[in-house]
Structures are given as C-alpha cells and as structure tokens.
C-alpha cells in the first residue's frame, strides 16, 4: 500500500510517513544490533562458520557505510 502512495504522489514513502519511517528504522537498528550480538556469541564450525562470518561482515559494512 505504501508503495502505491509513493507511485501516486511521486514522493518517497519516508517523506509521506516520516514518523512511522523513523519508528521502523529505529526498530530495525535494534534488531540488527541484537543479531550481531547473537552471531558474535555463537561458536560454529564448518559451513556454519562461513555463513556467520559473511553475516558479520555484512553487518560491519552496513554500519560503516561500506559496499560489499
């Protein structure tokens, strides 16, 4: 529905619903921090270790504005 509003009004959803957007962004940042903490505390081996490392690399890059 939100994307339909964006298409109709030609205004980004984040500008149409700024308060809601900020709430969503805040919630996502909290969940990403929790995910990172969970991944860092895991002890995995083999293929799981590679997947975990890849996720941690992505989280680090995202936080630091680096494109992978």
For residue range 6-28, what is the model confidence (pLDDT) as tens digits?
A: 999 999 999 999 999 999 999 99
Is the pLDDT reported for residue 44 higher than 90? no
Is the pLDDT reported for residue 56 higher than 90? yes
Q: Residues 6 or more apart from 14 whose CB is under 8 A from it?
A: 21
Q: What angle do CA 9, 21, 30 make, to 5 degrees?
A: 160
The residue-averaged pLDDT of 39-55 equals 90
Q: Return d(Cα 68, Cα 62) in angstroms, integer.
A: 9
Q: How confident is the model at residue 52, as a pLDDT?
A: 95
């Amino acid at each position: 529905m939100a994307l339909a509003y964006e298409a109709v009004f030609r205004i980004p959803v984040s500008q149409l619903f700024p308060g809601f957007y900020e709430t969503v962004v805040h919630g996502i940042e909290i969940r990403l921090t929790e995910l990172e903490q969970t991944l860092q505390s895991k002890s995995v081996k083999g293929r799981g270790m590679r997947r975990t490392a890849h996720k941690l690399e992505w989280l680090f890059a995202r936080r630091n504005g680096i494109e992978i």
